[in-house]
Amino acid sequence: MNRNARKWWRAHKQRVQQQAVPSHTPLHKELAENEQQLRALYDNCSDVVFRSFRIGGSTRALVVYIDGLTNTEELERNVLSVLMKTKMPKDSAIGKLLDNVVSVSQTNELATFEDCLESVANGFPTLLIDQQECALSFGLAKWEKRPVEEPMAEGVVRGPREGFTESIQVNMALIRRIIKTPALKMEQMQIGGYTKTKVVLAYIDGIVDMDLVTEARARLNRIDIDGVLESGYIEELIEDHPASPFPQILSTERPDVTCGNLLEGRIAIIVDGTPFVMIAPATLFSLLQSSEDYYQRSIVSSAIRWLRFLFTGISFLLPSLYVALITFHQEMVPTSLLISMAASREAVPFPALVEALLMEVTFEALREAGVRLPKQIGAAISIVGALVIGQASVQAGLVSAPMVIVVAITGIASFMIPHYIAGLAIRLLRIPMMFLAGSLGLLGIMLGIIVTVIHLSTIRSLGVPYLTPIGPMKFAEWKDTLVRAPWWMMNARPHLTGDYQKIRQGANQKPGPEKGGDPA
């Protein structure tokens, strides 16, 4: 940004703030003045309700709230009706009202217009009383929200089925219900000039490296944006390498995943309005782990992890390997297989590279259409897709049958990656890999792999190298990366950055019949 633009931006911001909020203007003593000012601010806001009444039939008062964000029943029962019947205390201390009359659990005293606007916007009905220089807000917010449901994108067979919702209060409660220690800290801040979105930075004091928290807090505080609609906005503004296709922050819909990571010393960033909670620092291998790995038996989980690694490799390389073998290294294909492959490719008019690109792009289009299209016609697209991709194209002689198989396996493989975004990154890299394979064969694939590894080695997520624990090698952490060791072996937490609490649990917990029931 040049200097003029910056100047303009600063002036613009001031203008906006003057319009929106008379910042830190204290409330007046006269109710009429306050009401006039508030009505001016909420000009043309048909959803804001101003209700004037008299406390005990004498003192004038005003309740301001937003229709639809406030529990009006509670407001009527516990505030309005009680106040109308009572007498305003003589010493005119507003605290007395709170102590003796209003039966609402969460109340706040507000002194400025800014506070009033914020409290009204959050759904808290705000009470202004004549001859009082402060207002009262009542925690009676209530709006329509989705109930806690099973997460859509991260399913498990065994494990909790609760998923985060769009409400930050519910999400914080879901985490707090699992981690009950007061060491679980949740720092709240507001981001977004207009949306004023609540963002919460959660961590467990004593486990996390405080430098990590300081760094994350600093990065969040430097965000200057007009609105935050999803955690993705914030992710893009705090990550280390914006140009990389790989996600450097893990996002999850699951409270148990969030808590597991908090317990390993990571931080979580919860954003209001989205069920996706961000976790940092993330590594490539953390993106290849599912929460269910820790709930199933360890041997089974280890085997599934290997299967996942294998298919991650397949989803990255299979089409390009096919292209390279067919185009350059036919001698590596066993003779009988080569003959049947050659027979099915005989009628195909395209070179292998074009064929592969055609099919991969079609598959990606089908996938994207399947996500986006209305649920009612989902069946139609899958039928058309299966017919077009599968049978018709082969029968028409446009595509060979082995190519269809390759694309199908690759498609399945890419859905095995537990975190959808990581799968997208690998799918994206598949296309350049196919070009490399089509031009330089196996050498091209190798060079592509080397470049990918160089790139992955360059990335850090909040200071943690992305390829930990393979590069840099940390043998102690292999037992939760290459395999999933049983819980009684995982006595140490993974090392992220700086100082950390290394011991996770007591030693020598391997169960067995000889342990018996006697604790001595």
> Which residue ranges make up the site for another protein (CB under 8 A)?
328-329, 331-332, 334, 440-447, 450-451, 453-455, 457-458, 465, 467, 470-473
By C-beta, is 299 or 447 nearer to another protein?
447
Quote the least distance from Cβ 336 to another protein, whole Å.
8
Q: What ranges make up the beta strands (E) of 221-291?
A: 250-252, 267-271, 277-280
Quote the least distance from Cβ 459 to another protein, whole Å.
10
Quote the least distance from Cβ 223 to another protein, whole Å.
28
By C-beta, is 425 or 470 nearer to another protein?
470
Q: Which amino acid is at 88?
A: M
By C-beta, is 334 or 511 nearer to another protein?
334
> Is the backbone peptide bond immediately before 334 cis, with ω within 30 degrees of 0?
no
Quote the least distance from Cβ 472 to another protein, whole Å.
6
By C-beta, is 45 or 446 nearer to another protein?
446
The residue among 65, 58, 105 whose CA lies nearest residue 83 is 58
Quote the least distance from Cβ 307 to another protein, whole Å.
19
CB 148 within 8 A of CB 126: no
By C-beta, is 15 or 329 nearer to another protein?
329
What φ, ψ does residue 280 adopt, rounded to 5°?
-140, 155
Quote the least distance from Cβ 212 to another protein, whole Å.
19
Quote the least distance from Cβ 333 to another protein, whole Å.
9
**Cα→Cα distances 224→119, 293, 362, Å:** 22, 39, 39
By C-beta, is 198 or 460 nearer to another protein?
460
CB 137 within 8 A of CB 125: yes
Which positions ≥6 away from 485 have C-beta within 8 Å?
298, 479
- Structural tokens at position 320: 């390009």
By C-beta, is 182 or 472 nearer to another protein?
472
Residue that has been written with the tokens 């909040």 in this structure? 462
Quote the least distance from Cβ 358 to another protein, whole Å.
24
By C-beta, is 144 or 331 nearer to another protein?
331
Q: How far apart are CA 235 and CA 256, in angstroms?
A: 21
Using DSSP's 3-state secondary structure scheme, residue 51 falls into strand
By C-beta, is 392 or 446 nearer to another protein?
446
In the sheet with 277-280, reading across from the earlier edge strand, the strands are: 184-191, 197-204, 267-271, 277-280, 250-252
Quote the least distance from Cβ 34 to another protein, whole Å.
59
Quote the least distance from Cβ 282 to another protein, whole Å.
17
Quote the least distance from Cβ 71 to another protein, whole Å.
55
The residue among 323, 420, 317 whose CA lies nearest residue 368 is 420
Q: How far apart are CA 284 and CA 495, in angstroms?
A: 15
Q: How far apart are CA 308 and CA 289, in angstroms?
A: 9
By C-beta, is 250 or 445 nearer to another protein?
445
Helix (H) / strand (E) element for 184: namely: strand 184-191
DSSP letters, 121-183, are HTT--EEEETT-SSEEEE--B----PPP---SSS--SSS------S-HHHHHHHHHHH--STT
Write down how long the chain is: 520
Q: How far apart are CA 84 and CA 57, in angstroms?
A: 6
- Structural tokens at position 60: 């004038």
- Structural tokens at position 304: 């599934």
By C-beta, is 122 or 327 nearer to another protein?
327
CB 358 within 8 A of CB 350: yes
By C-beta, is 42 or 435 nearer to another protein?
435
The residue among 149, 153, 162, 202 whose CA lies nearest residue 422 is 153
Residue 26 DSSP symbol: B
Quote the least distance from Cβ 460 to another protein, whole Å.
10
Q: Which amino acid is at 470?
A: I
Quote the least distance from Cβ 508 to another protein, whole Å.
30
By C-beta, is 294 or 478 nearer to another protein?
478
Using DSSP's 3-state secondary structure scheme, residue 224 falls into coil
